Amino acid sequence: MDYHQRTEDLLKDYKRVVRNPERKFLIEESVVTKAAMALPVGTLVTWTPPESTGRSPKDTYIVKRPASEKTIDWDSPNNVPLDPDTFSMLTEDALALLSVKKRVYALDRVVGADTNYALPVLTVTDNSLSGLFVDNMFRKVPGDIGKSAFAGKPFLLLALPYEKLDKSRYQGKLRKMEDGSASNLAVAMDFDNRIGIVFGSAYMGSIKKLIFTVMNYYLPDLGILPLHCSANEGPDGKCALLLGLSGTGKTTLSADPERSLVGDDEHGWSDNGVANFENGCYAKLINLNPEKEPEIFKASFHADHYLSHGSIVENVMVYPDGTFDLDDDRFTPNSRVSYPLRYLSNYLESAKTGHPSTVLFLTADAYGVLPPISRLTADQAKLWFMMGYTSKLAGTETGVTEPQATFSRFFGQPFMPRNPEDYTNLLEKYTEKYETSVFLVNTGWSGGPFGVGKRMDINATRAMVRAAMNGSLDKVEYTRDPVFKVEIPLSCPGVDSSILVPKNTWQDKAAFDKMAEKLAGQFKAYFNKAFAGKVEKALADQCPGM
């Protein structure tokens, strides 16, 4: 069944279908249809159902087909297989619903600022706010799209965020819920037939992350390394990449007024350099401080009339007078905002830059034992890239009463579907070829674990990041961490040297040693479970605890 053609046939109904509408039209439709309301500052705000305040990994599927199944790491818990017949059912149900909607929005966009591998994406949705989100996050189709490796092979995305699946129809085919019934939502990808479906998930990140996963699958076949990272460029033209999981500071640290932002979340690294996938940013808002993060705050809430604005805020506490509280997490700690890159004061309009001189791996270590910044060797870079370490904090999830180590390979495991070596080999290739320095940056705790120590001061972290980016840390003396094996600088411009060696910040040195060994043991346990026997010994030797 050619679902691409079926969709194009559906879109010929010009009375119901609005194809590539103006941005102002999407904003107005979102307010008129009550998909969102406009705040006095011009921002649109929406609240999703409780089950849609974040991604639903257990309801996210990859269609398992003979042509592609060997390229996908099915051992990863995030790669949940779906049989082709069930995916066909989802597609049929989506098209059937779209065919009777009073209004359908269709947007032709691309993902990827480098036209050589820009992926054409046709998004079809019944929700105007989802259409506006696509306009915020995806890019206009360039005139030279014909030179793309994906020319003539568009990806189709069907998004029905507020529709629910018929549980009885999908019994035994989708995830079983606690009551024994089938789940009524699904986010599914068919790489072979170039189709994605968001069914029943109103969290807008479901659209973004589905397409990111698609790019992460397709690009390694072209010799391009996809990365879950932000990127910026200094006045000297040198680029830096910042990799990290949500909450580690990727967006915050990349939005530096002294550097031009290339993008905040998703990029490709090829022999042409680095290119942003997106047109916008999708930033976390919880506890956003306007003084410490003025760029993000201004982009989210600058005072224009709502029809000329179009930033979308999700699940923030708003009061009747239109004021809001970014510290209130009663709806979710995962409150978000999407806005176009052009709302920032210093962004790179082309969204393309050269090869990075510096790569930074960000981690928020709640154990308080990792150095605030350290230098990695080539083997350590591959190891920490594979491990993708950060921490869960006490209180953020039911049953989490103390910090817990979290490992998400490539700093984005749910969105990296291929076999691990497809990514690590490309990282090694490009960092070696372009002589890129790699650093580990701990944006987490110092002086003790979460609850005892303090979160690393953002201004100190910014100073260390700048020193890594401008080459200042190439000129200082280092010492080797005996547990984590990384190289710690003994000085850094603009930073109190007493905080650089983490043990020095703890009053109880014995407690530090015990905590460091505890975390190293968790590294060892995860490595042995996920990678033992799958990587070379030189890499395994760099794992803490080994």
Choosing from 194, 209, 259, 485, the catalytic residue is 209
Structure tokens at 321: 């007078």
Please give the backbone phi and psi of residue 397, each rounded to the nearest 5 degrees, phi first: -140, 150
Choosing from 194, 284, 336, 418, the catalytic residue is 336
209 is catalytic: yes
Give the whole-angstrom CA distance, residue 528 versus residue 546.
9
The crossing angle, in degrees rounded to 10, of helices 128-137 and 205-218 is: 50
265 is catalytic: yes
Q: Are strands 273-276 and 17-19 parallel, antiparallel or unpaired?
A: unpaired
298 is catalytic: no
Contacts of 517 (CB under 8 A, 6+ apart): 483, 545
Choosing from 43, 52, 53, 55, the catalytic residue is 55
Residue-wise burial string across 510-545, b where 16 or more C-beta atoms lie within 10 A, e elsewhere: eebeebbeebbebbbebbeebbeeebeeebbebbbb
48 is catalytic: no
Look at residue 310 and give its three-state secondary structure. coil
Residue 142 is classified by DSSP as P
Choosing from 109, 238, 250, 375, the catalytic residue is 250
246 is catalytic: yes
Choosing from 7, 201, 246, 505, the catalytic residue is 246
Give the whole-angstrom CA distance, residue 166 versus residue 162.
13
Contacts of 483 (CB under 8 A, 6+ apart): 369, 516, 517, 520, 544
The crossing angle, in degrees rounded to 10, of helices 421-433 and 378-387 is: 150
Residue-wise burial string across 218-245, b where 16 or more C-beta atoms lie within 10 A, e elsewhere: bbbeeebbbbbbbbbbbeeebbbbbbbb
Choosing from 230, 251, 335, 363, the catalytic residue is 251
Choosing from 93, 135, 265, 422, the catalytic residue is 265
Asked if 353 contacts 274 with a C-beta cutoff of 8 angstroms, the reply is: yes
126 is catalytic: no
Give the whole-angstrom CA distance, residue 402 versus residue 392.
8
Residue 405 is classified by DSSP as E
Choosing from 139, 228, 259, 485, the catalytic residue is 228
Sign of CA dihedral 501, 507, 510, 512: negative
Please identify every residue annotated as catalytic. Answer: 55, 209, 228, 246, 250-251, 265, 336
